[in-house]
Amino acid sequence: MSFFGLGTRDIAIDLGTANTLVFVRGRGIVISEPSVVAIDERTGDVHAVGSEAKRMIGRTPASISAIRPLRDGVIADFEVTEAMLRYFIRKAEHRRRARPRLVMCVPSGVTEMEKRAVIDAALAAGAREVQLIEEPLAAAIGAGLPIAEPRGHMVVDVGGGTTEVAVISLGGIVVSESVRVGGYELDDAVTAWMRREHGLAIGQQTAEDIKVELGSASPMVEELEVEIRGRHLASGLPRSVQISSAEIREALAAEVAAIVDAVKETLERTPPELAADITQSGIVLAGGGVLMQGFAERIHEETGMPTTLADSPLTCVAIGSGMALEEFTAMTRGGKQVRPREAAGVR
Ligand SMILES: Nc1ncnc2c1ncn2[C@@H]1O[C@H](COP(=O)(O)OP(=O)(O)OP(=O)(O)O)[C@@H](O)[C@H]1O
Ligand SMILES: [Mg+2]
């Protein structure tokens, strides 16, 4: 598959467990919406996609279900993913009718079958040609790292479904680790804690709100207290309880530790020369999960490496794959065929 003669309608898509971002060549990011689809169970019709569908989670009548078609960074429901992609591609393209060429991001740890599913879903959704790029590479490009150099850089991407840790040098991934712990596991940990410690049932959205507002990976300068509303399990009635940020940090501790361990294990497996580079070039953090309070400090404390947040953690994978798309075009103008990995390395 080649990108020879890419046209202006080419698109890069960061198909994430939590959010899907669409980058159109020459225009930048045009869509950033939750990866959620509301389906009418009786007819199979798509009722809503994106933020509108996300607002319906936990609030739909029996005939409509709000579905997240991706799990752990990969496609869990093929038909719904296809419908979602078709909707986003159409929306990004306005009135254009030609089938676009796509660059799709995939986690670095995925199987051939999982890659094939992404390609097939994109083709079924209307793409003419599909090329894949590994997310850590896209994140590194989007974060502005000089990845083409013979010098090690580490990227940690904490998304909704997965955490990916990668060491990059000479435009390629040298060592990587992908663990299926991300923002959703943290939300689930909050839900389980509220149930166990307070006998309170809360919805998915409330759990995420608590995590974002109160969650932390290291002690806060000023700990917070918030009132949480849910359904009391024993009485079945609505009830509210006071929760502190210190308590939520405890609720999240095991999952946060699993993420930290993945970073440490990857450092341990990194060849010495590259490990030495990382002591200087440091660790760059991407993905929505790294926005948790005290996360960068915790990674720095546990590894001793200089640690920084990417300029825009939620968009850097999409921006990086968009930049790779521009790069493909520049390369192909000279009549040379390139693969994303090579193109990504030309900076
Ligand atoms: N301030 C914050 N604190 C903690 N978590 C946050 C914050 N902001 C966003 N998140 C979490 O980030 C996650 C979404 O991140 P992102 O959009 O990078 O995931 P994704 O790319 O869709 O997932 P994946 O890459 O795993 O497929 C959600 O779980 C969300 O709750
Ligand atoms: Mg992601």
Question: Could you report how far apart the first and last alpha carbons of the chain are, in Å?
Answer: 22
Lowest mean pLDDT among 4-13, 92-101, 194-203: 4-13
Question: Residue 79 annotated as binding?
Answer: no
| Helix axis angle, 316-333 to 135-142, nearest 10° | 90
Is residue 280 very low, low, confident or very high in pLDDT (cuts 50, 70, 90)?
A: very high
What is the CATH topology of the domain spanning 11-139+315-345? Nucleotidyltransferase; domain 5 (3.30.420)
Average the pLDDT over 193-216 and give the result: 97
Buried b (16+ CB within 10 A) or exposed e, 22-54: bbbbeeebebbbbbbbbbeeeeeebbbbbeebb
Average the pLDDT over 321-332 and give the result: 73
- What CATH code would you report for 147-181+252-309? 3.30.420.40
Q: Is 286 helix (H, G, I), strand (E, B) or coil?
A: strand
Is residue 22 very low, low, confident or very high in pLDDT (cuts 50, 70, 90)?
A: very high
Contacts of 301 (CB under 8 A, 6+ apart): 218
- Indicate if the pLDDT at residue 77 is higher than 60: yes
Lowest mean pLDDT among 55-64, 225-234, 332-341: 332-341
Average the pLDDT over 73-88 and give the result: 96
pLDDT on residue 44: 87
- Ligand 1 atom nearest residue 19's Cα: 22
Tell whether ligand 1 has an atom less than 6 A from the beta carbon of residue 19: yes
Q: Are 160 and 183 in contact (CB under 8 A)?
A: yes
Closest CA to 10 of 74, 98, 123: 98
Give the distance (Å) from ligand 2 centre to CA of residue 167.
Answer: 17
Give the distance (Å) from ligand 2 centre to CA of residue 16.
Answer: 5
For the stretch 306-320, pLDDT in tens is: 999 999 999 999 999
Which ligand is located closest to the Cα atom of residue 68? 1
- Indicate if the pLDDT at residue 102 is higher than 50: yes
Tell whether ligand 1 has an atom less than 6 A from the beta carbon of residue 69: no
pLDDT on residue 8: 53
Q: In whole angstroms, give the CA distance from residue 239 to residue 241.
A: 7
CA atoms 78, 80, 81, 85: torsion sign:
positive
Q: In whole angstroms, give the CA distance from residue 54 to residue 267.
A: 37
For the stretch 26-39, pLDDT in tens is: 899 999 999 999 99
Tell whether ligand 1 has an atom less than 6 A from the beta carbon of residue 208: yes
7, two tokens? 């046209």
Contacts of 126 (CB under 8 A, 6+ apart): 85, 86, 89, 90, 99, 100
For ligand 2, an ion, list residues with CB under 5 A.
Answer: 16, 159
Q: In whole angstroms, give the CA distance from residue 104 to residue 273.
A: 32
Which ligand is located closest to the Cα atom of residue 159? 1
pLDDT on residue 2: 41
Is residue 206 very low, low, confident or very high in pLDDT (cuts 50, 70, 90)?
A: very high
Q: Are 297 and 221 in contact (CB under 8 A)?
A: no
Domain 11-139+315-345 matches domain 183-251 at the CATH topology level: no
**For ligand 1, atom 18: residue with the closest CA:** 287
For the stretch 128-161, pLDDT in tens is: 999 999 999 999 999 999 999 999 999 999 999 9
Which ligand is located closest to the Cα atom of residue 286? 1
pLDDT on residue 340: 42
Q: Are 49 and 87 in contact (CB under 8 A)?
A: yes
Q: Are 288 and 158 in contact (CB under 8 A)?
A: yes
pLDDT on residue 331: 47
pLDDT on residue 96: 65
Average the pLDDT over 277-290 and give the result: 98
Tell whether ligand 1 has an atom less than 6 A from the beta carbon of residue 215: yes
pLDDT on residue 93: 83
Domain 183-251: which CATH class?
alpha beta
Question: Residue 282 annotated as binding?
Answer: no
For the stretch 166-180, pLDDT in tens is: 999 999 999 999 999
Q: What is the longest distance spanned by two Cα atoms in the chain?
A: 71
Tell whether ligand 1 has an atom less than 6 A from the beta carbon of residue 246: no
Give the distance (Å) from ligand 2 centre to CA of residue 312.
Answer: 12
Give the distance (Å) from ligand 1 centre to CA of residue 51.
Answer: 15
Tell whether ligand 1 has an atom less than 6 A from the beta carbon of residue 288: yes
The CA–CA distances, whole Å, from 316 to 87, 156, 302 equal 23, 12, 24
Q: Where do the domains of the chain lie? A: 11-139+315-345, 147-181+252-309, 183-251
341, two tokens? 């990995």
